[in-house]
Amino acid sequence: MTTDTTGTAARDDEPRPGGPADSPFVRACRRRPVPHTPVWFMRQAGRSLPEYREIRANVAMLESCRRPDLVTEITLQPVRRHGVDAAILFSDIVVPVAAAGVDLDIVPGTGPVVAEPVRTAADVERIRPIGRDDVDYVDEAVRLLVKELGDTPLIGFAGAPFTLASYLVEGGPSRTHAKTKALMYGEPELWHALAGRLAEVTLAFLRVQIEAGVSAVQLFDSWAGALSEADYRRFVLPHSTKVLSGLADTGVPRIHFGVGTAELLGAMGEAGADVVGVDWRTPLDVATRRIGPERAVQGNLDPTLLMAPWPVVETEVRRILEQGRAAPGHVFNLGHGVLPETDPEVLTRVVALVHELSVRPVDQG
Ligand code: CP3
């Protein structure tokens, strides 16, 4: 299977040399030697790119996620423009939840909005398990992309149970997650039923992407940083573990990311991640001490810093690469997603700078 070009070679112990499963990105995830530090950006496919705004001009967000031709084009745009080391599937964390029967929309400038927020056991029961046929457009888009991308790896992704539950319970984005926490603390059984159901949906969704050929997956628990470590371990970790550990047999590297998670980095690694994403608040050498030597790290340039004068950006990139050397593997990224007002030229320069500063001879062993 090592000559396989479908990307499923990621499951091999010995991937095809130079193929996506042997790319600098996948090698860094696996803590193997790399020719340069790989770099990609969360939300690289999106509103910072004029070509994205053009193609999305008259198409609603959820509809664009369900059109494999658009998904393919939008996913490829940042790869062409910036020369990043990985593509991330253009989609959204609520896509599988919508496929599971939840009535929702993605409102421009706001984010996901749920028609009938989840409040009761009957609401949880209405979230159906999903299979490949419920998200056939994702399966098709991944297959098209794997062909188009050649040796560039494609990252699949999903939202983690806590972050998904927050949108479903609040009905939309929330700063405090107050309703979600009220349900968690006040009705723990209902909470675990909801998070358990979302873990099943997420696991099935990631398995569809892996079957179709993605080279790695990222589980976004963007809002987990709202919790203390003790509450995270009690209410969230078992469900995120069901997702990440449930993918162990696939051999595909698993990245786990959240914002404001300095106190949770160790626990998030324990959920079954090969790579832990770190936001800009925690230096990567400090993060590595918390995460341990068994996992690589990803991060962690502050996305607002891309608006600073170039010498400031350059100094920060150098610092992050330096601190990233403390980790057994480092994937360069931002500490959260690209902001829409970012000048795309700066992103291209960051990619070139990361490559230039980190280039090193590599023993391919
Ligand atoms: O990273 C990528 O380039 C892939 C695409 C991607 C999108 N959403 C596209 C998108 C990814 C990985 C996501 C994940 C996602 N969606 C997360 C986790 C990552 C994170 O940022 O923490 C979350 C929390 C969501 C929910 C969501 N969807 C939000 C908060 C928003 C932004 C609302 C807004 O308009 O400002 C969305 C909409 C969304 N998802 C857009 C894009 C490109 C913007 C919609 C548009 O272009 O009209």
**Percentage of the chain lying above the pLDDT 70 cut:** 95
Selected catalytic residue, list 27, 56, 197, 295: 56
Question: Could you tell me the CA-to-CA distances from 21 to 9, 215, 255, 267, 324 in Å, in that order?
Answer: 6, 6, 15, 27, 22
Residue with tokens 């046929």: 133
Structure tokens at 293: 């030597």
Q: How many CB atoms lie within 10 A of CB 110?
A: 10
pLDDT single digits (tens) 147-194? 999 999 999 999 999 999 999 999 999 999 999 999 999 999 999 999
Q: Residue 240's closest CA among 127, 159, 294, 129?
A: 159
Q: Residue 141's closest CA among 232, 212, 204, 62?
A: 212
17-44 CB burial, b ≥16 within 10 A, e <16: eebbbbbbbbbbbbbbebebbbbbbbbb
19: left (phi over 0), alpha (psi -120 to 50) or beta: beta
Q: Is 277 in the pocket of ligand 1 (CB under 6 A)?
A: no
What is the reported pLDDT for 360? 87
Residues 6+ apart with CB under 8 A from 36: 24, 354, 355, 358, 359, 360
The residue whose CA has the least distance to atom 34 of ligand 1 is: 109
> If you compute the radius of gyration of the chain from its CA atoms, what whole number of angstroms results?
19
Dist. CA 158–CA 188, nearest whole Å = 24
- Which DSSP letter does residue 297 get? E
**Average pLDDT score over residue span 86-107:** 98
**Average pLDDT score over residue span 331-352:** 98
Q: Find out whether 137 is annotated in a ligand binding site.
A: no
CA of 92 to the centre of ligand 1 (A): 6
Would the pLDDT of 16 be above 70?
yes
**Average pLDDT score over residue span 8-13:** 47
Dist. CA 14–CA 30, nearest whole Å = 12
- Whether 81 is catalytic is no
- Whether 349 is catalytic is no
**Average pLDDT score over residue span 56-85:** 98
Dist. CA 264–CA 228, nearest whole Å = 8
Selected catalytic residue, list 92, 105, 123, 136: 92
Would the pLDDT of 8 be above 50?
no
Q: Residue 300's closest CA among 274, 333, 267, 266?
A: 333
Would the pLDDT of 4 be above 70?
no
pTM of the model: 0.95
CB 81 within 8 A of CB 49: yes
Q: Find out whether 222 is annotated in a ligand binding site.
A: yes
**Average pLDDT score over residue span 333-353:** 98
Question: Could you tell me the CA-to-CA distances from 41 to 4, 73, 86, 96 in Å, in that order?
Answer: 27, 17, 9, 22
What is the reported pLDDT for 269? 98
Dist. CA 359–CA 361, nearest whole Å = 7
**Average pLDDT score over residue span 230-238:** 98
The residue whose CA has the least distance to atom 37 of ligand 1 is: 111
What is the reported pLDDT for 9? 42
The residue whose CA has the least distance to atom 41 of ligand 1 is: 46
Average pLDDT in the chain: 95
Beta bridge partners, 257, equal: 220, 277
150: left (phi over 0), alpha (psi -120 to 50) or beta: left
Q: Is 42 in the pocket of ligand 1 (CB under 6 A)?
A: yes
Q: Is 157 in the pocket of ligand 1 (CB under 6 A)?
A: yes
CB 338 within 8 A of CB 41: yes
pLDDT single digits (tens) 240-293? 999 999 999 999 999 999 999 999 999 999 999 999 999 999 999 999 999 999
- Whether 92 is catalytic is yes
* Angle, vertex CA 300, rays to CA 92 and CA 332, nearest 5: 85
What is the reported pLDDT for 10? 43
pLDDT single digits (tens) 50-65? 999 999 999 999 999 9
Q: Is 112 in the pocket of ligand 1 (CB under 6 A)?
A: yes
Residues in the chain: 365
What is the reported pLDDT for 13? 60
CA of 17 to the centre of ligand 1 (A): 33
279-318 CB burial, b ≥16 within 10 A, e <16: bbbbbbeebbebbeeebbbbbbbbbebbeeeeeebeebbe
What is the reported pLDDT for 7? 41
The residue whose CA has the least distance to atom 1 of ligand 1 is: 43
Report cis status (omega within 30 of 0) of the bond before 300: yes
